[in-house]
Amino acid sequence: MDKGSDWEKITLKDSSGKQVKISIGLSVSALTIKPEDKLVYNTTYTVTTPAGAEKSTTGDSMSSDYIFSFTTAKEPEMSKELEKPKVPEKPGRV
């Protein structure tokens, strides 16, 4: 695969349509999209790869945009033990 004319138009957007800054990599068989900042828990994101963003080594590109969505995991619940403040133990009496 090679970069196509719409390479810079590959996007990652959150559920409100706000674009997320990404870095994009390309190997012989894979397109890699990496967010520059951490993604928000329990949020749906949409990746759009325009038809002209990449092309085969023979110059052919996709016939239409490739769009998919995914949702990040829910925020992990902290255990009750971790939420309790640590209180120093009182020394025993003799």
Give percent above pLDDT 70 in the chain.
Answer: 82
| pLDDT tens digits along 27-42 | 888 889 999 999 999 9
Return the SS3 of 40. coil
At residue 8, φ and ψ (nearest 5 deg) are: -70, -5
Q: Is residue 20 a contact partner of residue 73, using CB atoms and an 8 Å limit?
A: no
| pLDDT tens digits along 7-31 | 899 999 999 999 999 999 988 888 8
Element (H, E) at 46: strand 44-49
